[in-house]
Structure 1
Amino acid sequence: MTAPAPREASPYLAPAQAFDALYAYCAPTLVRQAYLLTGRRDLAHESVERAFQRAWDHWPEVARDPDPAGWVRAATHDWALSPWHRLRHRYRHPDPPPPEEEDRVLLDALLSLPPPYRRTLVLYDGVGLDLPETAAETEASTRAAAGRLMCAREVLAERLPELADPGELHDRLAELASTGRTRAAEPAAVRGGGERRARLRTRTVTAVTVVLIGSTAMTLHTAPTHYVPPVPPGETVRGLPPRVAPGPLPDERRELRARLREALLDGPERLTPQAR
């Protein structure tokens, strides 16, 4: 199940050629590893393709890495074990089980393990990394990685006692990973998919930036230029007599009001303003 990849890309190869060589060397093996981690063939292929697309996006970094295969392997395992896959409709139903009874029992036991324990077991007993490398790739201490490994082995040995032998466990993991379809996509298609995703991300970021700039400009244009104090809320004034609506005037008062109105207009001179 393991295939040692070249430590660094040849300086005489173009970036695309070096990427294709790394992909052809590692992709089939990584598909089998991802299948052991997920129990799903489609997700295993998707994990490898996404990992290599990410590697192509960061190719200068990957090409200078002391272990390019390890870089892509870590990215593949991270994508395969992402908890968000359980929310995707296409992965809500399990894949058909392996045809052999022992393979079904082994796969069920693997998938019953917590993801960190499963990854530790695959890296140590499947890939063949030593304990410090396994701990580093799973971002755990050596003591924690050893504890996960022992617990995972005990769970598998309870289901299949013959797997208590590490050599037998390695062989059975390799046999289980090799069942079914393991053909990976063409490297050119993977590079093209990565470039399309990069362009889509660039367009999305550009669109979001334009929207933010436009909303900021609109806010600056419509925002007040000086401080406007808020209007205080109204208060009830107490101690005043209630307002009473005036009633109808009696006849003598109506006659008096009429005489006063006429006197203001055509009355005696003492009621008319004198011009100076």
Structure 2
Amino acid sequence: MTQSPAIPLPPPAERRRLREAQSLTQAQVAERVGVGRDTVRAWEAGRTTPRGRKAQTYASLLAAASATAHEVTLRQADPTAPLTPLTPAQAFDALYAFCAPALVRQAYLLTGRRELARESVERAFQLAWHRWPEVAVDPDPAGWVRATVYECALSPWHRFRARHRHPEAPPADPADRALLAVLLRLPPPYRRTLLLYDGVGLGLPETAAETEASTPATANRLLHAREAVAARLPDLADPALLSRRLAEVAAHERLRAARPPVVRAGSERRARNWTHAAIAFTVALIGATTFTLHTAPTQYNPPVAPGATVQGVPPRAAPGALSRAELDLRTKLQRAATNGPERLTPDAR
């Protein structure tokens, strides 16, 4: 049976190896997960795949086993070194190696773009490394990263990027191409709900919590998404078959994730750039404030009051041709000046 790419689980043979590396029996694993021993045997044989809360518990158990195996490997490489707990970088690398391949495939099913899927996973793990003290103590670090990957992949700001204005090459298989086209026609909340429930295998309450919706609303989204897929692809009306087809679509694509040291270095470089930008902005703000203080006036100058109309004074005439009354007035004044008294001249004596 093909493993669902959305479930961050190692291959069946690796599951057994990790369990044995932690010196656990199938009965002990079954008791911790809350299932029967035959169920654990079927998981390790690859006949079935866990779902819902059992999948999360089983994945966390295997992740702890993977970290223990890594520590044992380090111990075998240097027997004289004291046995110490994993460093933050080693714990981050273990989480990345455990979850990144599956998350890249999930992001591809959400977006239909290979490069965007890889960028979303790298960005989510960069944020996880930046907030590692918070993520390390989270009850479900894989779920924390998954939610961040989905938010990055479905961000509406990608539409303004030049590289995302043109469609990407679809899958080569016609069946995969048809299923991916149907998924991309769904609204993002419906697409995310369908992938979490039928792809990842989360239960309905867990899916509702991760999508920040009520349980009835999540159930309606799931039903409408399944109906939309079944309307265009009647062969996928069975949810079990749809889950398997989601695994096959992602498994046939060449989706690569960067190495953990590259992601950690990118996170640290991004943090440094933001720090430098914040310092530069602060310096510019201080400089602008200082310049304003030195150039601002030191006393208050009241504004000039606006002019007021004086009663009884005729308005000044605008330049232009004189009116009839003005012409008569000018003629009268000229005549009065001609008939006036003689001009007085100063006496030299």
TM > 0.5: yes
> How many Å apart are 1:241 and its aligned residue?
6.8
> How many Å apart are 1:84 and its aligned residue?
0.5
Q: Residue in 1 aligned with 2:313?
A: 240
The size of the alignment, in residue pairs, is 259
| Aligned residue type for 1:3 | P
> How many Å apart are 1:28 and its aligned residue?
0.4
> How many Å apart are 1:220 and its aligned residue?
2.5
Do structure 1's residue 31 and structure 2's residue 31 form an aligned pair? no
Cα distance in 1 between the residues matched to 2:224 and 2:297: 66
Cα distance in 2 between the residues matched to 1:242 and 1:60: 80
| Aligned residue type for 2:103 | L
> How many Å apart are 1:254 and its aligned residue?
5.3
Cα distance in 1 between the residues matched to 2:147 and 2:344: 103
Do structure 1's residue 6 and structure 2's residue 70 form an aligned pair? no
> How many Å apart are 1:253 and its aligned residue?
3.9
* 1:9-24 equivalences in 2 (<5 Å): 12-24=85-97
Q: Residue in 1 aligned with 2:165?
A: 92
- The C-alpha deviation readout for 1:56-79, integer Å capped at 9, x for no partner, is 000000000011100100000000
Q: Residue in 2 aligned with 1:132?
A: 205
Q: Residue in 1 aligned with 2:51?
A: none
Q: 1:54 aligns with which of 104, 112, 127?
A: 127
1:6 and 1:22 in contact (8 A); partners too: no
Q: 2:345 aligns with which of 252, 255, 258?
A: 255
Q: 1:13 is paired with a residue of what secondary structure?
A: coil
Structure 1 242/193 Cα, relative in aligned 2: closer, same or farther at 3 Å?
closer
> How many Å apart are 1:160 and its aligned residue?
1.1
> How many Å apart are 1:252 and its aligned residue?
5.0
Cα distance in 1 between the residues matched to 2:219 and 2:315: 88
Q: 1:228 aligns with which of 301, 309, 328?
A: 301
Q: 2:213 is paired with a residue of what secondary structure?
A: coil
Q: 1:255 is paired with a residue of what secondary structure?
A: coil
Q: 1:175 aligns with which of 237, 248, 260?
A: 248
| Aligned residue type for 1:126 | G
* TM-score between both structures, scaled by the size of structure 2: 0.69
Cα distance in 2 between the residues matched to 1:48 and 1:163: 28
- The C-alpha deviation readout for 1:75-123, integer Å capped at 9, x for no partner, is 0000000000011001111111111221111111100000011000000
Q: Residue in 1 aligned with 2:328?
A: none
Do structure 1's residue 64 and structure 2's residue 137 form an aligned pair? yes
Q: 2:146 aligns with which of 73, 83, 90?
A: 73
Q: 1:194 aligns with which of 267, 292, 302?
A: 267
* TM-score between both structures, scaled by the size of structure 1: 0.86
Structure 1: gaps spanning 5 or more residues: 268-276
Cα distance in 1 between the residues matched to 2:90 and 2:344: 111
Structure 2: gaps spanning 5 or more residues: 10-58, 68-83, 317-332
Cα distance in 2 between the residues matched to 1:6 and 1:153: 29
- The C-alpha deviation readout for 1:123-180, integer Å capped at 9, x for no partner, is 0000110011101111111111111000000000011112111110100000111122
Q: 1:216 aligns with which of 289, 308, 313?
A: 289
Structure 1 174/241 Cα, relative in aligned 2: closer, same or farther at 3 Å?
closer
Do structure 1's residue 145 and structure 2's residue 145 form an aligned pair? no
Cα distance in 2 between the residues matched to 1:16 and 1:102: 41
Aligned-pair RMSD on alpha carbons?
2.6
Q: 2:60 is paired with a residue of what secondary structure?
A: coil
Cα distance in 2 between the residues matched to 1:100 and 1:121: 22
> How many Å apart are 1:224 and its aligned residue?
3.0
